[in-house]
Structure 1
Amino acid sequence: MVRFFALLLVFFSTLSFAEPLYWGAQKGKTQFMIVGSIHVGEQNMYPLPKAVTQFLKSSDGLIVEADIRKFSPSDLPAPTVKTEQVLDAKSNKELKSISQKLGLDVSILQKSPPWATALTLQIGQFKELGLSPALGVDHRVMALAEMNSVPIIGLETVGFQFSLLTDLPDGGKSLLKNTLDEFDKSFGYSKCLVKAWKAGDKTTLDRFAEQTSFSRDFDNKFIFSRNRDWAKKLSSKNFLPVNDGKYLIVVGALHLVGKDNLLTLLKRRGFTVKQLSSSEQAHCKI
């Protein structure tokens, strides 16, 4: 399942010398610093590396996956498929059991679209670990950008991101089924991913990207096609507000490792890319 799970995961640890992964990328006078993001987190993930925060303060803009300030739940389409319509008796029993563990109202989940139920279960699991979307890297960096009057630029809209979920076959039935089937294992995955992200352990994250895949169509839709679109935009003078400027780019960490990652695609478009962060091995196995 866990490609989708990892896109939402929060990673944290007590490693003291390593840093989350970040790179420098340059083409001509255009300069990027690219940071792998975690979309939920906890207080001990901060402060971010000083090099990152200083770069942001002197940059011409912060580029993120989407500007989450510009989204309202009312923008979501009305559900056409409900969870109760797609689950068999065994899966429905699993849903009730997990909901009880997380303190969630199963009757509400059964009326929700399958993709939303899967997302709610994963967020509930994060809360069990003491993690919050409000402490995600995206939120923190955007707040810092606002404090320093740095423009925020979205590579895509939040509405587009939700459309990836709402357009899944059967309302995301397969995603929900995998979430239920792999729910107990997810804690184990998260422990290793926590260490890998905080340590900047690219080898472990690369291995994770290779070994955890939902389906070819899902991976292409949620990872590869978006990477290609982002690389094209970042290479375009029409996309960047200030030509030949410097920008901090913050995107999900798994967009920066594995096959056809954003860094590789930028290299193909003429950027020189260099890792700037210090890394350690996480000493865990996926």
Structure 2
Amino acid sequence: MPIRTLLRSAALLLAVALAPLAAARGAPADTAASKPPVPLLWKVTGAGDARVYLLGSFHLLTAQDYPLSADVEKAFDASQRVVFELSPEDMQSPELSSRMVQAATRTDGSELKRDLDEATWHKLQAFAASNNLPLPQLQGMKAWFVGLTISVGQMQKMGLDPALGLDRHFMERAQKTGRKTAGLEDIDTQIRMLDGMSATEQRQMLAEALDEVDKGDVQARQLHDAWRRGDDRLLWNKMAVEMRQQYPQLYQRINTGRNDAWVPKLVPYLQAGQGGTLVVVGGLHLLGSDGVVEKLKARGYKVERVCTGCKR
């Protein structure tokens, strides 16, 4: 189910903005609490003392995913600033959820039902009834927003919490320790990424979200487990390969285009005198031939995986 998987992994904004609208959290996911997750972590060596640590985030996590591994802690300690997809100021802005809802609200007088096939509409009716969601309110929203609302709600039922996501964790750590912070994008950029989906892409994403509910969200559990193991190959194969083949334009907008825009913003942190910088972004953006890791290698930087004791 490529569309929903890729969007969910790419959209930090949704995990935060939609959480209050989604279902209440459930029991914690089944994780090996005694063993810290193996990080998706790379070190990029720049000029002089400049080092950039690229840390792949999972935007919704559990309390059992902490504490983090020693490798991640060392990267944080070695960094004087932390860079995110969205700056902490944007993440904490009271406009965040309101602007997201505004973009997702239908303004042409039509209803959501018009955009869905009969089977998907019936599934949505049943889901809304069993989860106490107001169907008339959903009728006034775009399909991408409804699909992601369902996805985030299901992840919360699994015990995955946006308040415990890696991004939020390091935003709080940076604030407490007085580190500088920055964002690679702004709110409008992330909203355009989602609201720019075609009607066909939106329909499929909502249908996939409803199908996954029936399966107990097996894929979300699989991806979370893979993130804990630092299994970059499985994450890449499950999140991106099929999407890149079947929906190249969507993949370009959500992933490759953003990676291309981020790399020039990271290069200044690799100049002499910059010291250490920790960059925390969705794990997908670091993986594959068109990920940030390979793009920085192509520019001549030394990039190495930091993975003490893991089997790869």
Matched, 1:74 2:98: yes
Matched, 1:275 2:309: no
**What residue is the counterpart of 1:165 in the other structure?**
194
Task: Report the 3-state secondary structure (helix = DSSP H, G, I; strand = E; otherwise coil) of the residue aligned with 1:23.
Answer: strand
1:106 CA drift (Å): 2.5
Letter in 2 for 1:73: S
**Farther-moved stretch of structure 1 (6-15 vs 118-127):** 6-15
- Relative distance call for 1:191 and 1:44 in structure 2 (3 A) is same
Measured in 2, the distance between the counterparts of 1:242 and 1:73 equals 39
Aligned counterpart in structure 2 of residue 204 of structure 1, from 220, 234, 238: 234
Matched, 1:7 2:4: no
**What residue is the counterpart of 1:35 in the other structure?**
55
Measured in 2, the distance between the counterparts of 1:234 and 1:240 equals 7
Once the two structures are superposed, the pairs formed by residues 17-166 of structure 1 within 5 Å of their partners are 19-29=38-48, 30-67=50-87, 68-70=91-93, 71-76=95-100, 77-78=102-103, 79=105, 80=107, 82-166=111-195
Task: Report the 3-state secondary structure (helix = DSSP H, G, I; strand = E; otherwise coil) of the residue aligned with 1:72.
Answer: helix
Is the CA contact (8 Å cut-off) linking 2:86 and 2:186 kept in structure 1?
yes
Measured in 2, the distance between the counterparts of 1:12 and 1:61 equals 33
Is the CA contact (8 Å cut-off) linking 2:39 and 2:228 kept in structure 1?
yes
Is the CA contact (8 Å cut-off) linking 1:12 and 1:45 kept in structure 2?
no
Instruction: Name the Cα RMSD after superposition.
Output: 2.7
Measured in 2, the distance between the counterparts of 1:24 and 1:148 equals 22
Task: Report the 3-state secondary structure (helix = DSSP H, G, I; strand = E; otherwise coil) of the residue aligned with 2:55.
Answer: strand
Letter in 1 for 2:284: L
Measured in 1, the distance between the counterparts of 2:124 and 2:274 equals 52
**What residue is the counterpart of 2:24 in the other structure?**
none
**What residue is the counterpart of 1:232 in the other structure?**
264
**Farther-moved stretch of structure 1 (24-33 vs 1-10):** 1-10
- Relative distance call for 1:175 and 1:65 in structure 2 (3 A) is same
- Relative distance call for 1:4 and 1:75 in structure 2 (3 A) is closer
1:74 CA drift (Å): 3.3
Aligned counterpart in structure 2 of residue 244 of structure 1, from 269, 274, 280: 274
1:128 CA drift (Å): 1.6
Measured in 2, the distance between the counterparts of 1:242 and 1:27 equals 7
Is the CA contact (8 Å cut-off) linking 1:25 and 1:274 kept in structure 2?
yes
Unaligned runs of at least 5 residues, structure 1? 282-286
TM-score (norm 2): 0.80
Query: Which deviations, in whole Å up to 9, do the C-alpha atoms of 1:199-249 show, x marking residues without a partner?
Result: 1112222322454416111111000111111112111x3x78995331001
Matched, 1:187 2:207: no
Is the CA contact (8 Å cut-off) linking 2:112 and 2:143 kept in structure 1?
yes
Aligned residues: 279
Measured in 2, the distance between the counterparts of 1:88 and 1:186 equals 23
Letter in 1 for 2:42: W
**What residue is the counterpart of 1:284 in the other structure?**
none
- Relative distance call for 1:172 and 1:243 in structure 2 (3 A) is farther
- Relative distance call for 1:46 and 1:107 in structure 2 (3 A) is same
1:167 CA drift (Å): 2.2
Measured in 2, the distance between the counterparts of 1:8 and 1:157 equals 13
Task: Report the 3-state secondary structure (helix = DSSP H, G, I; strand = E; otherwise coil) of the residue aligned with 1:40.
Answer: coil
Letter in 1 for 2:149: T
Task: Report the 3-state secondary structure (helix = DSSP H, G, I; strand = E; otherwise coil) of the residue aligned with 2:86.
Answer: coil
Letter in 2 for 1:69: Q
Measured in 1, the distance between the counterparts of 2:67 and 2:45 equals 26
Is the CA contact (8 Å cut-off) linking 1:99 and 1:121 kept in structure 2?
no
Unaligned runs of at least 5 residues, structure 2? 16-28
